[in-house]
Amino acid sequence: MSKSDKMSHAIGNIDDRFLLEAMESCPRRKLHRGVRIFGAVAASICLLVGLAVWGLRGENGFFTVYACESDQQLTIVCKTNIRVAADTQRQEVQTVLEQYFDKLYATMLEESNADYSPNDFASINGYIVAKELVASRYTYHTLLGGIHEVDLKEVTIEELSNQDDHLEAAVYVTCAFSYGDNGETSLGENGETSMGNLYRVTLEKSGEQYKVTDLDCDSITILMAKESILKGKAEGNDADAYRRTDAYFQQIQKNADIMLETQKNF
Amino acid sequence: MEDSKIIELFFSRSEQAITELAYKYGGACKKIAFNILRNPEDAEECVNDAYLGAWNSIPPQEPNPLITYICKITRNLALKKYRYNTAQRRNSFYDMPLSELEECIPFDKGNSNPCTEDDLTEIIEEFLDTLDKKSRIMFVKRYWYAEPVKSIAEEFRMTENHISVKLLRIRNKMKVYLEKKGVVL
């Protein structure tokens, strides 16, 4: 996620009073407004930035070949080595994440009985994400005949940063899945799932391999769940937050039961 | 219908809840989604998804006020759709407010850890409280509701240039404020 995205997200979470204040100031606008075309400007900027980045890369590559001539060139060789190490690390993390999300999304499958405990994640965030998948499995089972196939389409590391003792990754994940009594309906086909979700994943080194220890997600269902569950966090202890998470998703499952009853009555 | 009545309808799982919600707040939601996406079909789809989000989450949620709740869901969904669209290079409108926000990003001296989104929100709220009402509204309209400068100018009966300069000053102020607070993104 870019810094401006982070800023935009932070602004997105500002208190309701600011939103109400802006909303209540009487707008006086015309119904039809011309839409300005920014494409050409954006394309020019992208082209310039692209050329600059390409130029820089080319320069580094050049100095790598003629290294050992001066301190400056040696520094560049070191930088290149660091970059190679970073690429290797990224590749390693990519494999771990693909395996992890494959397993995590399989939670939604009809035949799965996967469930999660607070011990599976370093914080409540990961627990909420996992419990939401469990609740989805129940909702699809109750109302739509269950999910029969999950296909992980994309796991893209958008950002990877080394913290003191762990790695933080921003990962964009898209998946397609089919549901229904015969598994005929594929959400992937009509593009509904192609938007995917952005996850923030924490990884720690476990022996030779990296291991996912926690995750968070920008999905709207998760954001809504967190808003409700963590509202009273300051008043309660952590165990309460985990209990509230369970209660929240039990209610979501109950909603599915109620909807089924309503459908039957019709 | 009052918000509390709409919430009651949600709790009794009556589909009329969606009808009432759409009647009361549909316009506001569509505007936000359209401001970000600039495509009526995408905006409509976002708003419908937001209604579904509300239907699935109330109960257990009991939002008060209801309008900001549904607007937040819509904004989040619209940003997600925007992200998808821009990945496909289909829309670049929201790039403008985003690139303007880049100007507020404090200089990274490389000696502190990046602050969390929650902390950043808190600091931005503090900053907004330091502004006069008019500037605050302008800022929120531009960077939360993603309203075009032209539309803000019409509302405040000012020229577009005047609004742009005002927003620039607010952004500069914000950058200084964030740097003073030691914010690193």
Q: What is the pLDDT of residues A61-114, one digit of tens each?
A: 333 333 334 455 545 555 555 555 677 788 889 999 999 999 999 999 988 999
Instruction: Name chain A contacts of B145, Cβ cutoff 8 Å.
Output: 22
**Average of per-residue pLDDT across B99-103:** 80
CB B152 within 8 A of CB B141: yes
Unique residue bearing structure tokens 């829309």: B91
Question: Residue A153: its chain B contacts at CB < 8 A?
Answer: none
Distance CA B151, CA B50 (A): 24
Q: What number is the average pLDDT over the span B12-28?
A: 88
Cβ atoms A260, A142 nearer than 8 A: yes
Question: What integer best gives the mean pLDDT of chain B?
Answer: 84
Check residue A190 and give its pLDDT.
Answer: 41
pTM, rounded to two decimals: 0.52
User: How close, in Å, is residue B168 to chain A by CA atoms?
Assistant: 16
Bond prior to B59 in cis (omega within 30° of 0): yes
- Per-residue pLDDT at A194 exceeds 60: no
Distance CA A27, CA A252 (A): 38
Partner residue opposite A19 with nearest CB, options B68, B79, B118: B68
Residue of A nearest to B135 (CA): A22
Q: Is B185 close to A248, i.e. CB distance below 8 A?
A: no
The predicted pLDDT at position A58 comes to 45
Note the pLDDT of residue A79.
56
Please state which of the ranges A17-21, A23-27, A199-203 shows the lowest mean pLDDT. Answer: A23-27
Rounded CA-CA distance B29/B18 in Å is 13
Residue B100 reports pLDDT greater than 90: no
Contact A183, A148 (CB under 8 A): yes
A39, B161 Cβ separation under 8 angstroms: no
Between CA B74 and CA B128, with CA B4 as vertex, the angle to 5 degrees is 50
Contact B72 A12 (CB under 8 A): yes
Residue in A12, A28, A38 closest to B93 by CB: A38
* Closest CA in chain B for residue A22: B137
DSSP helix, strand, coil percent of chain B (3-state; round to 5) = 70, 0, 30
Q: Does A215 score more than 80 pLDDT?
A: yes
Find how far residue A78's CA is from the centre of its chain: 33
Range in A59-63, A159-163, A231-235 the model is least confident about: A59-63
Over residues A212-232, mean pLDDT: 82
Q: Measure CB to CB from residue B65 to each of A7, A20, A21 and give the nearest one.
A: A20
- pLDDT given at position B115: 79
Q: Which two tokens stand for residue B56?
A: 């699935």
The mean-pLDDT minimum among A36-50, A203-217, B170-184 falls in A36-50
DSSP A139-184: HHHHHHS-EEEEEEEEEEEEEEEE-SSSEEEEEEEEEEEEESTTS-
pLDDT at A192: 44
What are the tens digits of pLDDT across the range A121-146? Answer: 998 999 999 999 999 899 888 888 88
Q: Which residues of A touch B75 (CB under 8 A)?
A: 12
| The total number of residues written for chain A in this structure | 266
Instruction: Classify residue A107 by its DSSP letter.
Output: G
Name A205's bridge partners: A210
Nearest to A33 by CA among B72, B171, B93, B82: B93
The count of other CB atoms within 10 Å of the CB of residue B108 is 12
A22/B140 touch (CB, cutoff 8 Å), yes or no:
yes
Amino acid at site A21? E
With an 8 Å Cβ cutoff, are A224 and B71 in contact?
no
Nearest CB to A4: which of B105, B140, B148?
A: B105
**Chain B residues 153-182 with a CB less than 8 Å from chain A:** 154-155, 157
Q: Which residue of A has its CA nearest to B96?
A: A38
DSSP, collapsed to helix, strand or coil, labels residue A204 as: strand
Cβ contact A224:B53 at 8 Å: yes
Burial state string for B56-66 with b = 16 or more CB within 10 A and e = fewer than 16 = bbbbbbebeeb
pLDDT attached to residue A182: 65
Q: Per the CB < 8 Å rule, is A14 touching B137?
A: no
Most distant pair of Cα atoms in chain A: their distance:
83
